[in-house]
Chain A
Amino acid sequence: MPDVKKPLLEVKSLTTSFRTDRGVVRPVDDVSFTIEYGQILGIVGESGSGKSMTSQSILRLVGNRKSEKVAGEVLFEGQNLLELKEKQMQKIRGKEISLIAQDPMTSLNPVYSVGNQIAEVPFIHEKSSKKNSWEKAVAMIKRVGIPSAEVRATQYPHEFSGGMRQRGVIAMALAGNPKLLIADEPTTALDVTIQAQILELIRDLRDETGAGIMLITHDLGVVAELCDQVAVMYAGKIVEKAPVEDLFSEPKHPYTKGLLASLPKLGDKARLTPIPGQPPNLHHLSTGCAFADRCPFVMDVCKVVHPNLQEDGPEHEVACYLYGEEERHANES
């Protein structure tokens, strides 16, 4: 039974830094969030914002080299994953926490049949017999909505279409009955009608299994359709965090507002309002707010000190001097 008091995943001040020949960069900088059982947290941001690096840091897929450092705490049911030995971590990956990556062609091994790759999960993690593992794989394939599962299980990834492959990857991710599912751009490589099928599948599986889901995406439409909570990332930091309805009805951070304004809306032909400028280079970040250069409301203080993520309204947090207590500080000085 899950411990009711502890959240499923609690990430505290997660900071991932890389030492490069051009200095130290922090693709993930002081990131904190929680995911409850059965909750879908969306992490949105543009390329280079650190959203995928966050998931890789949680799974400890980075931080194993000398030049890489992951600091902070990743509490999974109260246990800090960053303190585990690699052997212990292997028991968690694929079993307790599993990953659905963006490109199903690269996350499936082309020389093994799809069923084989799914059967590996119960075979390794549950020490099931070969026969039971295979049966479980076929059952998983059926569950994610692939017709004629027995035949499909013996086929290889190249015999599957894009949407079917992604279903196969989802089947593999679910084979260990994970408590936490990390989906990194799960529908980006897919067509809209197929995307709709996969999003529905993810939602149904959440309802059935009660797993928590961390959904990483750049598509605000997908966030609106699927997520309960949203964290917006910019240059390695979370700049805003809110329940999904609030984020869309009352975005606070100028970056979030800018993102929403730059989307074309159906039936509205008014001129788009893009965010001026380019996303920052992580090698040349100032000590201030990384968005300051592109922000229409920029103040002097923004360029000097990065604002902290502060509550402004119920469950709604924003890192911007326009809001909350920091606003007063800014006005005083």
Chain B
Amino acid sequence: MLTNHEELVRVENLTKHFSLGGSYFTKNKETIRAVEDLSFSVYKGETLGIVGESGCGKSTTGRLLLRLMEATSGSVFFEGDNILDLSKEELRAKRQDFQMIFQDPYASLNPRMTVEELISEPLRTYKVKDRKDRLLKLVDAVGIPKDYLTRYPHEFSGGQRQRIGIARSLALNPKFIVADEPVAALDVSIQAQIINLMKDLQDEFDLTYLFIAHDLSVIEYISDRIAVMYLGSIVELTTSDRLYENPLHPYTQALISAIPIPDPSFLREKIKLNGDIPSPMNPPAGCKFHTRCPLAKDICKQIVPQLIEVEPEHFVACHIVEESLI
């Protein structure tokens, strides 16, 4: 459990809008509100999980935090500096400290580079000394045999490729890693290997993770705290234990009750959500979840609920929960 709550990353009012369509001749004013007014912190040494369904903005959030994509507005403070204000050179120097692990180990590795070249590329770029030493330490840490260094990515299975990707992201001794669905493309038996590896590396290298996934069992297992996103906003944020023991937001409750449990004797009442996730192009007014919420009232259709702390370390954005407190 986390005892110190030293902030490594603080996100304030982060927003990303994509403008859609439109060509040279036609101006199209439609925008996708991918991420809207997010504020949260990532504590040093923790794993913050972000979970949500497709299109909820979880991957966009990860990319904005590393400035792989420019935000529309808001700030991201990394150890006190606003990353979004840094110049190109400053950002480049800072990039050593935050890295990314990608979902698809097939697409994220250059097929024409050997394992050695792939892993030492960041070392070369940042002119690190004793590269060979560092390289050997890295492959050892992620469990790739040394005699595979001259091989190419296509000679590896998905799990091994993900190990290579992880070694690459660790090369520069980062403090913060955004992992975007790192195990979603892997088979169950391999998935467990990678999750264990990520946990071990976190202890060994003092890493802080932002772990993005759609799989709730995986997220619950690896995270210390979890943020649940729906259509670009955080609807609930709390510790992983509390989220599963006492989910307060109706969306979180439905999401958790929909997890298929690998135990046929496990009986439970499922909360059924009707309908689909609305398009982020025209998100519903008020609480974005009101169109599918079994508890929705009039107020939900009009006023956007704020993320409020309903008990220590438990934030919820829901009018119904808020009312029940009074």
Report which A residues bind B (CB closer than 8 A).
46-47, 161-164, 191-197, 199-200, 218-225, 244-245, 248-249, 258-269, 271-276, 278-279
What's the Cα separation between A317 and B206 when bound, in Å?
A: 47
| CB–CB B160/A266 < 8 A | no
Q: How far is the CB of B201 from chain A (nearest CB, A)?
A: 14
What's the Cα separation between A193 and B254 when bound, in Å?
A: 7
| CB–CB B217/A264 < 8 A | yes
A272 touching B221 in the complex, CB below 8 Å, given contacts A163-B276, A192-B53, A218-B187:
yes
A193 touching B261 in the complex, CB below 8 Å, given contacts A262-B189, A267-B244:
no
| CB–CB A244/B270 < 8 A | no
A262 touching B263 in the complex, CB below 8 Å, given contacts A191-B277, A193-B273, A274-B193:
no
What's the Cα separation between A97 and B93 when bound, in Å?
A: 61
Point out the residues of chain B lying under 8 angstroms from A263, CB to CB: 188, 192, 217, 262
Q: How far is the CB of B49 from chain A (nearest CB, A)?
A: 12
Point out the residues of chain A lying under 8 angstroms from B214, CB to CB: 191-192
| CB–CB B272/A249 < 8 A | no
Q: How far is the CB of B249 from chain A (nearest CB, A)?
A: 13
| CB–CB B188/A279 < 8 A | no
The residue that A221 contacts in the complex, of B159, B193, B260, B277, with Cβ under 8 A, is B260
The residue that B189 contacts in the complex, of A46, A195, A199, with Cβ under 8 A, is A46
Chain A, residue nearest B196 (CB): A272
Q: How far is the CB of A241 from chain B (nearest CB, A)?
A: 15
Chain B, residue nearest A281 (CB): B157
A265 touching B265 in the complex, CB below 8 Å, given contacts A161-B276, A218-B188, A278-B160:
no
Of the A-B pairs whose beta carbons lie under 8 Å apart in the complex, a sample of 6, sorted by A's number, is A191-B53, A191-B54, A225-B264, A259-B188, A260-B262, A263-B192
Q: How far is the CB of A230 from chain B (nearest CB, A)?
A: 10
Say yes or no: is B135 at the interface (Cβ < 8 Å to chain A).
Answer: no
What's the Cα separation between A222 and B270 when bound, in Å?
A: 14
Point out the residues of chain B lying under 8 angstroms from A265, CB to CB: 217, 221
| CB–CB B262/A245 < 8 A | no
For the complex of A and B, list the 7 residue pairs with the smallest distance between their C-beta atoms, beginning with the closest.
A221-B260, A274-B192, A264-B221, A262-B192, A191-B53, A275-B189, A46-B187
What's the Cα separation between A245 and B190 when bound, in Å?
A: 25
| Binary contact readout B131-172 vs A (1 if CB under 8 angstroms, 0 otherwise) | 000000000000000000000000001011000000000000
What's the Cα separation between A218 and B272 when bound, in Å?
A: 24
Secondary structure type dominating chain A contacts: helix
| CB–CB A272/B192 < 8 A | yes
Best-surrounded residue of B245, B260, B265, B276 (most CB of chain A within 10 A): B260
| CB–CB A224/B261 < 8 A | yes
| CB–CB B189/A222 < 8 A | no
| CB–CB B54/A162 < 8 A | yes
Q: How far is the CB of A189 from chain B (nearest CB, A)?
A: 9
| CB–CB B221/A269 < 8 A | yes
| Binary contact readout B213-234 vs A (1 if CB under 8 angstroms, 0 otherwise) | 0101110111000000000000
Q: How far is the CB of A277 from chain B (nearest CB, A)?
A: 9
Beyond the given pairs A191-B53, A224-B262, 9 more chain A to chain B contacts, judged by CB atoms under 8 angstroms and listed by A's residue number, are A46-B187, A193-B53, A193-B273, A221-B261, A224-B264, A225-B261, A266-B244, A266-B259, A267-B220
The residue that B262 contacts in the complex, of A195, A196, A223, with Cβ under 8 A, is A223
A248 touching B54 in the complex, CB below 8 Å, given contacts A46-B188, A191-B277, A278-B159:
no
| CB–CB B263/A259 < 8 A | no
What's the Cα separation between A10 and B244 when bound, in Å?
A: 43
A266 touching B196 in the complex, CB below 8 Å, given contacts A220-B262, A248-B265:
no
Say yes or no: is B258 at the interface (Cβ < 8 Å to chain A).
Answer: yes
What's the Cα separation between A272 and B195 when bound, in Å?
A: 8
Q: How far is the CB of A173 from chain B (nearest CB, A)?
A: 21
Point out the residues of chain B lying under 8 angstroms from A195, CB to CB: 258, 260
Q: How far is the CB of B197 from chain A (nearest CB, A)?
A: 9
Say yes or no: is B255 at the interface (Cβ < 8 Å to chain A).
Answer: yes
Q: How far is the CB of B20 from chain A (nearest CB, A)?
A: 15
| CB–CB A279/B187 < 8 A | yes
| CB–CB B189/A192 < 8 A | no
What's the Cα separation between A196 and B217 when bound, in Å?
A: 15
Best-surrounded residue of B160, B191, B192, B273 (most CB of chain A within 10 A): B192
Q: How far is the CB of B99 from chain A (nearest CB, A)?
A: 24
Q: How far is the CB of A198 from chain B (nearest CB, A)?
A: 11
| CB–CB B255/A193 < 8 A | yes
The residue that A249 contacts in the complex, of B157, B254, B255, B265, with Cβ under 8 A, is B265
Point out the residues of chain B lying under 8 angstroms from A223, CB to CB: 262
What's the Cα separation between A161 and B292 when bound, in Å?
A: 15
The residue that A222 contacts in the complex, of B217, B260, B263, with Cβ under 8 A, is B260
Chain A, residue nearest B222 (CB): A264
Chain A, residue nearest B240 (CB): A269
Point out the residues of chain B lying under 8 angstroms from A273, CB to CB: 192
What's the Cα separation between A54 and B265 when bound, in Å?
A: 29
| CB–CB A248/B259 < 8 A | no
Q: How far is the CB of B67 from chain A (nearest CB, A)?
A: 28
Point out the residues of chain A lying under 8 angstroms from B190, CB to CB: 274, 278
Point out the residues of chain A lying under 8 angstroms from B265, CB to CB: 245, 248-249
What's the Cα separation between A121 and B43 when bound, in Å?
A: 57
What's the Cα separation between A47 and B242 when bound, in Å?
A: 34
| CB–CB B53/A266 < 8 A | no
Q: How far is the CB of A46 from chain B (nearest CB, A)?
A: 4
| CB–CB A196/B189 < 8 A | no
Q: How far is the CB of A138 from chain B (nearest CB, A)?
A: 20
What's the Cα separation between A196 and B196 when bound, in Å?
A: 29
Q: How far is the CB of B288 from chain A (nearest CB, A)?
A: 14
A221 touching B262 in the complex, CB below 8 Å, given contacts A259-B189, A272-B196:
yes
What's the Cα separation between A180 and B260 when bound, in Å?
A: 24
Q: How far is the CB of B219 from chain A (nearest CB, A)?
A: 9
